[in-house]
Structure 1
């Protein structure tokens, strides 16, 4: 029987079987999977080695300690999720409603923003003051980027702060609720959400462009789930 298929950065890579040398990225990828599925307490060298079917001794080629691995996970989360949301908020757009659609690409595209990872870090923060401080700083960076986005489109400072907070924290609550609503119903609400968030009615073409983008990613995600 072959060894386990590792979660490589390159999804087209051949499965790793038998006596193989795993990479630093392999250790990080599988550790990330464990963090999301089982929580930070289970991110242990032996657990990860067992999942990959390798000796834990190779871990120390890449990391000095479990803490260094945990720090690398936090760095990847920060460089991924926070950086992606900030980048989307800073992406040029013809209108504030189009700008919000850019931000909401993070909601539907896991390659931009990993929601499951974000919640895993939030859960981790309940157990670690250091991670809590990092999370608070990250949330502040994200809200600040959204505030700046609203101000670019002419909103006064206090209104921009308020709308940024409503937009950001509403989405966190929405994801946490795990409504599991039909995709088409969710997409039917897009123009109404945009009006609530901005006070401006979106252009039909903005809504349709975002719906098409969302459907493509939802279909891609569904296909991955069916083949996994």
Structure 2
């Protein structure tokens, strides 16, 4: 194996996230991640106490990427609720790899109570961000909550639906759903 400079903590986390997205939590093994990075596993212990520490760091990065960075991106440039929601929806549509990771984390949460608690917290944070944006143009709190749930459901579940839409393409139907949400 060629000599490498010390592999960064971020590189280990990113490689772990790719393994998680591709094969679930069982695919995240120190040896496997080291092989993907083309390094020995010895450097792993410079950054992490054990595999669980890596998994926790991966979940932190998942939350930061899919909540904190998404909110920052949506808020950048200001604007009203609709404008910020459009930015958020555009960012959500930009990453296939993010969706694979999202689905893998949610699948993991079905079998792990701590991960389920993390997913619940992330979903609550997402809804807390969406509510005031929709409330800017929706007077009915029930309508606001319904729209928030539809946004989250569309983001998480749209890729799982395999139905066809006649002559309409999936992107066209998704765009129509977003227009409906922003009415």
> Aligning the two structures, in what range does the TM-score lie when normalised by the shorter sequence?
0.7 to 0.9
Q: Which has the higher Rg, Structure 1 or Structure 2?
A: 1
Q: How many residues align?
A: 179
Aligned residue number for residue 51 of structure 2: 66
The answer for unaligned runs of 5 or more in structure 1 is: 4-17, 201-228
The answer for unaligned runs of 5 or more in structure 2 is: none
Change (3 A) 1:180 1:41: farther
For the 8 Å contact 1:86–1:141, the answer to whether it is kept is no
Q: 2:85 aligns with which of 86, 90, 100?
A: 100
For the 8 Å contact 1:90–1:149, the answer to whether it is kept is no
Which region of structure 1 is more displaced relative to structure 2, 154-163 or 138-147? 154-163
Q: 2:15 aligns with which of 25, 30, 33?
A: 30
* In 2, Cα distance between equivalents of 1:185 and 1:134: 34
Which region of structure 1 is more displaced relative to structure 2, 126-135 or 22-31? 22-31
Aligned residue number for residue 175 of structure 1: 159
* In 2, Cα distance between equivalents of 1:126 and 1:86: 26
Aligned residue number for residue 64 of structure 2: 79
Change (3 A) 1:180 1:102: farther
**Following TM superposition, by how much is the alpha carbon of 1:94 offset from its aligned partner in structure 2, in angstroms?**
4.6
**Following TM superposition, by how much is the alpha carbon of 1:179 offset from its aligned partner in structure 2, in angstroms?**
6.7
Which region of structure 1 is more displaced relative to structure 2, 85-94 or 71-80? 85-94
* In 2, Cα distance between equivalents of 1:86 and 1:156: 24
TM-score, with length taken from structure 2: 0.83
Q: 1:142 aligns with which of 121, 126, 138?
A: 126
For the 8 Å contact 2:81–2:136, the answer to whether it is kept is no
Deviations 1:89-126 (Å, cap 9, x if unpaired)? Answer: 55633563x34322211222229x82111111111111
TM-score, with length taken from structure 1: 0.68
* In 2, Cα distance between equivalents of 1:192 and 1:51: 40
Aligned residue number for residue 37 of structure 2: 52
For the 8 Å contact 1:89–1:146, the answer to whether it is kept is no
Higher relative contact order (Cα pairs below 8 Å, separated by 6+ residues):
2
For the 8 Å contact 2:17–2:58, the answer to whether it is kept is yes
